[in-house]
Amino acid sequence: MSQFLLRRGSPDEEFPDLSRNHTWMGRILTAAMYRRQFHRCTPAGPASVGCVAGDAESYILFCDFFDRVIEAHHGHKITSQTPESDFNCDNLKGGEDLDRSYAVRCEVSVVRGVEGFCFPTHCSRGERRELLTLARRGTAYLRRLEEEDLPGRLLLLEDLNQDQQRELDFDPPSDSQLRIGVARDWPDARGVWVSKDGSLVVWVNMEDHLRLVSTQDDANITEAFKCMCINLQKLEDLYRELKHPFTWKQQLGWVSSSPADVGTGLRIRVQLKLQHLPKHNRRQDVLKRLRLCMDNTESPALYCVSNTATFGLSEVGLTQLVVDGVKLLIAMEKRLEVNGDIEGLVPAQKTLRISFIMSPGSMEDVVFMLQVKRRARGLESRPSSLGSPDNSWRTETQQRQQRPSVEVPRRAEASEAAVCVERLGEAGGPLYVAERRSRS
């Protein structure tokens, strides 16, 4: 919440109407949680508490909210363990031999925040200009390979004409970007570094402080990943020497303005030619099991496949997940081309590893469903972990606190959705998900 002096009512009077908000934030931010967070503020003073962070400290001070959003989006429980990191390209297997008849292009991108600066959702003109100065120095050291220079130049966004913007696949700020404040003072101090061959692009002061994008027109994920790793590590070393390292939090990994990018900040996108699989009735189920998403492009029968999460796996692990998933999607497409059945190729369901309760209502139904599951296994009927499973939740700062227990309301509203994930740690059992969707 902002440190600025605002005329505000009580927490109940200020609580936003989230009845039409169908995001993780809309499910997780209850009136009780809003009351707990209402009088808190970070030193930088972001204007609101939502699904973007004003600065890195927001992830610590408002951990009760952000942790649940992160776990829900990424399907991975936050623990006291430091997230695994792996930039060893030799550990990536099979990224260079995708079937070129289907895979036509790939893109590996990563976002980073810079320590000591507010995120673009809240940074000032002066901060933005200082970040641009740092980027000028950093991009002078980018490389194609270990010993080979990667020539390029840094362009200011305000100097680019429309043709140059289209060539860079640049889109003007969207409505959502305008709402969260990243387009403030547009286009002041926004820039883009472009390599001479176009294989590497570094965006500065857009939705994040830095965004590196490595592309390969032959869909060679290994080469794109290698180029990104080499140059990201060079930038990281330089920024550390300049006393402005990239923003890292012990239990979260790399953090930036969006909780959707916490952990690695890594996105791997592959453009695939698919005729049959997108129309198949198992499409969404298969993608969910692979932890991938598939988006349409402007070209017919051309789809963009990418990872849904950035937290819970290392950089190599996430890239390997996309490589293996894309190969499986191609195998399914080939089988459908000859009117074959893909049921034998459908992977097993991946288990979520999260432990929390969301949404203000419908809890009685959820708890009842969990009790039925536990009785069927001979376990006690009381849910085992409605709050934090232990007292070692997070020790990064003294502001870290154990999560409060969640009260179950007396009555369940039929119009509200409830999601409850119970951890059956005592019996060594798997996680169970009980979900009741909104009724029309």
Share in percent of the chain as helix, strand, coil (round to 5): 30, 15, 50
User: 79 and 312 in contact (C-beta within 8 Å)?
Assistant: no
| Residue 250 labeled ligand binder | no
User: Is 204 annotated as a binding-site member?
Assistant: no
Distances (CA, A) of 244 to 29, 134, 175, 259: 33, 9, 31, 21
Distance CA 361, CA 364 (A): 8
Q: Distance between CA 369 and CA 371 in Å, rounded?
A: 5
Alpha helix ranges (H) inside 139-182: 162-167, 175-180
Runs of H (alpha helix) within 87-220 = 125-138, 162-167, 175-180
Does 298 show up as a binding residue in the annotation? yes
Closest CA to 319 of 368, 269, 353, 276: 269
In 85-232, at which residue ranges do the beta strands (DSSP E only) sit? 103-112, 152-156, 191-195, 200-204, 210-216
The response to whether 107 counts as a known ligand-binding position is yes
Is 430 known as a binding-site position?
Answer: no
User: Has 343 been labeled as part of a binding site?
Assistant: no
Q: Is 202 annotated as a binding residue?
A: no
Q: Would the annotation count 296 as a binding residue?
A: yes
Q: In b/e form, how buried is each residue of 58-90, taking b as 16+ CB within 10 angstroms?
A: bbbbbbbbbbbbbbbbbbbbbeeeebeebbebe
Give the angle 252-109-79 at the CA atoms, nearest 5°: 15
297 is in an annotated binding site: yes
Does 270 carry a binding-site annotation?
Answer: yes
* Radius of gyration over every alpha carbon of the chain, rounded to an integer in angstroms: 23
Residue with tokens 């776990």: 71
CA pair distance 6, 13, nearest whole angstrom: 14
The answer to whether 21 is a known ligand-binding residue is: no
At CA 345, angle to CA 341 and CA 348, rounded to 5? 135
**H or E element in which residue 231 lies:** helix 221-241
Please give the biggest Cα pair distance in the chain.
Answer: 69
Rounded CA separation 308/282 (Å)? 18
Q: How far from chain centre, in Å, is Cα 184?
A: 23
Beta carbons within 8 Å of 152's beta carbon, 6+ residues apart: 139, 142, 193, 194, 195, 196, 200
User: Does 271 appear as a known binding residue?
Assistant: yes
What type of residue is 385? Answer: S
Does 108 belong to an annotated binding site? yes
Bind-site residues: 105-109, 211, 267-271, 295-300
Bind-site residues for ATP: 105-109, 211, 267-271, 295-300
